[in-house]
Structures are given as C-alpha cells and as structure tokens.
Amino acid sequence: MNNDYLNFSREELLEQYINQRNEILLLKAELAQIKRLIYGSKSERFVAASNPNQIALELETEEVVAPPPTLQTVIYDRVQKQSSVSVHAGRNPLPAHLPRVEIIIDPDGDVSGLKQIGSEITEQLEYEPGKFFVKKYIRRKYVSPEGLIQIGTLPSFPIEKGIPGSSLLASIIIDKYADHLPLYRQMERFKRNGVTLSSSTIGEWVSASCTMVVPLCELLKLIVLSSDYLQVDETPIKVLDRDKKGKTHRGYYWVYRDVVSGLVLFDYREGRGRDGPTELLKNFKGYLQTDGYNAYEIFDKGEIKLIHCMAHARRNFEKALDNDRIRAEYILSEMQKLYDVERTAREQSFSHDQRYALRMEKSVPVLKELHQWLKNNIIEVTPKSSIGQAIAYALPRWTKLMMYTTDGKLEIDNNLVENSIRPIAIGRKNYLFAGSHAGAQRAAMIYSLLGTCKLKGIEPYQWLKNIFDVLPEHKANKLHELLP
C-alpha cells in the first residue's frame, strides 16, 4: 500500500476517489464520442430499441409435457397449379430529353426484295467528357457609295475583351464551388483536351466572375435582411495568411437563411466574434433562430426575438447514450414525439394556423414535462459527465427552445440552414483553404447564389450561364428578375 495515502483523512480520500472516477467517466465519454465520429451512424433520428411505455410481464411458467403425437393417414386430391412466369418490370426508360444518335443495323446478307415488318430498338446510355469549342465572330464590313464604313456590333461579353465565354465561366464556377473541384485539378483536365491555362489566368477569370455578380448579391442581401424570420449558423474556413508563410488564418462564414422566401446569404468574417452579425443585423426586426452560441445573446432584446434550435439540444443527449443510456433514451424518445408532430404537419401540408393548433395539443405538454424532468435530474448527475453537460446545455435555454410553438411559421430547429453549410464542409476538404480574405468573401457571394439555387431546386449551371449572358446589359432596376 502506498504510504502517501496514510497522510489523508477519510473525507479527503473520498473526494479524491470521486474526482478520479468523474475524470475516468469523462475520458470514457470522450473516447466513445471519437469512436462514434469515426465509425458511428450520422443520422440524428432516434428510434428506441423498445417501446418505453410497454409493460414487461414477468410471469412464472410451468413446464408442460406434451402427449405423444397421434399418427393419421390423410388422403386428398390436389389440383396442380399452372406454372407462372414472373414478369420483370424492366429498366426505367432513359430520359426523353437526351439527344439520340440512331444507328441502323440491317441483317447480314442481301435484303433487297424483302419487306420490313418492324424494328427492335435497344438504347444504350453514353457519355462524352466536356469538350471545348470556339465561337468565331465574323463581322462583315461594308462601305457606302459615300465612303462610310459599317460593321456589325459585337455582343457584350462576360469579361470585356476576355476570351472565356459564359459556358466556360459557369463551368469553372460550378466545378469549384458546387462540385468542389479545385482550380488546379480543372487545369489538368483542360490539358487533356489540349487547352493549357495558367493558374493566374483562371484565377483572374474567377475573380472577374465574382465581381460581375456583386450587384445581384447585394440585392440578395437586401431581401434576406428585410425578412422577419431568419435562421443563422456559422462554419469555419481556413484562409491563407500572407504575413505568415505556410500558415492559415481561421475565418468564418456566417449563414443567414430567410425561411419565408427560401433565400440564403453567406457572409465572410475574419473571426467568430459578434461584430459580424451585429453589423449585418443592426436593422433586423423579427425572429432570429440560432444554436446556443453566446455571441447571439446580444440580440435577445428589443424588436428581435431569439429562438434556439432543438436539434442542437438533442445532439447532446444522443452523445450521452454511452454515458447514461436510461436518461438519454428517455429524453430522446420524448423529443422524437416532438419531431413526429412536425412530420405529421409537413406530410399533410398543414397551414401555419393548423400547425400551431397541433403543436399546442401535442407538443406543448411534452415540452412542459421535459422541462420539469430536466430540473429534477440536473441535481442527480455529475456536472462533467456527458448527460450532465447535455442537461446543463438544455435547461437554461428551454424557454427559447419552446418558443417555436408560439407561431406556426416557426421551425423546430435550424437544420435547413445547416444543410446550406454542408457544401462548404465538403469543399474545404478538397481545396483546403481560401487564398486570401478577399477570395473567401468572393466565395461567400457564390455560395449565396448557388445555395439559393439548391434550396429552390434550380439547376445551377444553366442558371449561372444565363446570368453571365444577360447580366452585362441587364437594367439595374430589374435585377430582381435574375435571382434564383
């Protein structure tokens, strides 16, 4: 036995034991979370292993010895079933809008003098990688008897005196920001088609394209910030630091989604402080739905009503399953009832008033019971445990978590705005970092437009190509016609 322990009192040893036990529980929870991130399912929907409301009956049973079977001989006539051939539904037809190249195949041998009685048609889906082509504008020049020269007028190009057309610029932008293909990989692909472009050239094209859509993004910002219900979230992005060779700066994209119009706005800031949202939301009035990040608490006053996100609270209890399964499963099962109400309203296309009435009947009683449960259980769990942290997160925010039930137009969580952030999470794994703060801000504009296209179900390449075609000559007072 270690003699050092003889110098401690019983109370000190007990306190030391409790601290060490809590530390072990915390480390186990962190290890379990790491394993879940690597190997676990990413679905947030909770399905209980069994119905918690079902009563298990523990009945004693007596062993019953069955009597020996009695053998009988049964004779009967059976009508033989006719053999049936299973009919396969077949493949789905190939899309009708795709162009067809017809290849006529005649039988081997001489068919002259034979009468065609039909055709068997087989379709095969093919693909050709993107090909370059050149638009060659030939402007004919004429001279009048008086010696006056006339020549055709060139259309406006996306980049004045530049060689890239709208389709090429749109393809580069979509490949980089929607399909997460870095510019250097695009350059390698261009080389395989016999077109060599320098990194500076293609970078200047991207910069010019972003400059072109600035008026459109400013209008988008104006519309989003005029809403009375915004959802907000933020996500980090690494930005190359020119002053520190080989190092990057941690910047942030703040994402604002107008729930009513379905438009989304990305705003780049160099930090995660409250300066960015404070500046952007200085004239905002209405509901602001966020996670529990304390930078938003400054807005919980005046004409702004702060709402919290139920999904963020639920995730903490999902993480606590390995720590305290009984408590975590209970609250997840109760929260699932709240999401069942939302699913019912969505599937039946309820109006805002109908959804409000359904929530008052079904959701509010569950929320009140959960609130009481949180108050009762927070004193029974270890503060540093996963379940303790989950309760400590939810309890002080519960009033704002319940606020979505006060208006039928409000959502239970921020998942829709988080869906807009996912392309950035995928993209930064490919291109790793933005080249500068200005480059990160330009990317924010493109993410705003393409994110809105995604939420509206609009094909982004054709939309962006059309924008580059018409924007140079479009009237400034009709820019709203071009928004997705």
State the pLDDT at residue 87: 56
**Highest mean pLDDT range out of 152-161, 295-304, 395-404, 472-481?**
395-404
Return the half-sphere exposure (C-beta side, CA atoms, 13 A cut-off) of residue 352: 8
pLDDT above 60 (res 38)? yes
What share of the chain has pLDDT > 70, as a percent?
82
Query: Exposed (0-12), middle (13-18) or buried (19+): which is 353, by Cβ within 10 Å?
Result: exposed
Global pTM value: 0.73
378 or 437, which is more confident:
378
The dihedral built from the CA positions of residue 310, 316, 322 and 327, taken in this order, carries a sign that is negative
Give the neighbor-by-neighbor strand order of the sheet with 264-269.
Answer: 264-269, 248-258, 229-240, 286-290, 304-308
Type of residue at 477: N
* pLDDT tens, position by position, 354-403: 999 999 999 999 999 999 999 999 999 988 888 999 999 999 999 999 99
* Token pair listed for 14: 């007990």
Q: DSSP per residue over 452-467, as a string? A: HHHHHT--HHHHHHHH
* Parallel, antiparallel or unpaired: strands 229-240 and 286-290: parallel
pLDDT at 27 over 50: yes
Asked if pLDDT for residue 187 goes beyond 90, the answer is yes
Query: Of the ranges 242-246, 247-251, 336-340, which one carries the lowest mean pLDDT score?
Result: 242-246
Coarse DSSP helix, strand, coil percentages of the chain, rounded to the nearest 5 percent? 50, 10, 40
Structure confidence at residue 39 as a pLDDT band (50, 70, 90): low
The average confidence (pLDDT) of the chain is 82
Residues 241, 247 contacting (CB under 8 angstroms): yes
- The answer to whether 298 and 270 have CB atoms below 8 angstroms apart is no
Residue 17: band (very low, low, confident or very high) from pLDDT cuts 50, 70, 90: confident
Average pLDDT over residues 215-228: 93
Residue partners of 271: CB distance under 8 A and separation at least 6: 251, 252
pLDDT beyond 80 at 456:
yes
| Helix or strand holding residue 304 (H, E) | strand 304-308
Q: What is the pLDDT of residue 219?
A: 93
From residue 346, how far is each of 58, 307, 335, 354, 409 by CA, in Å? 41, 20, 17, 11, 12
pLDDT of residue 76: 52
Q: Is the pLDDT of residue 175 over 60?
A: yes
pLDDT at 75 over 80: no
DSSP symbols for 221-256 = HHHHHT-SEEEEEEEEEEEE-TTSTT-EEEEEEEEE
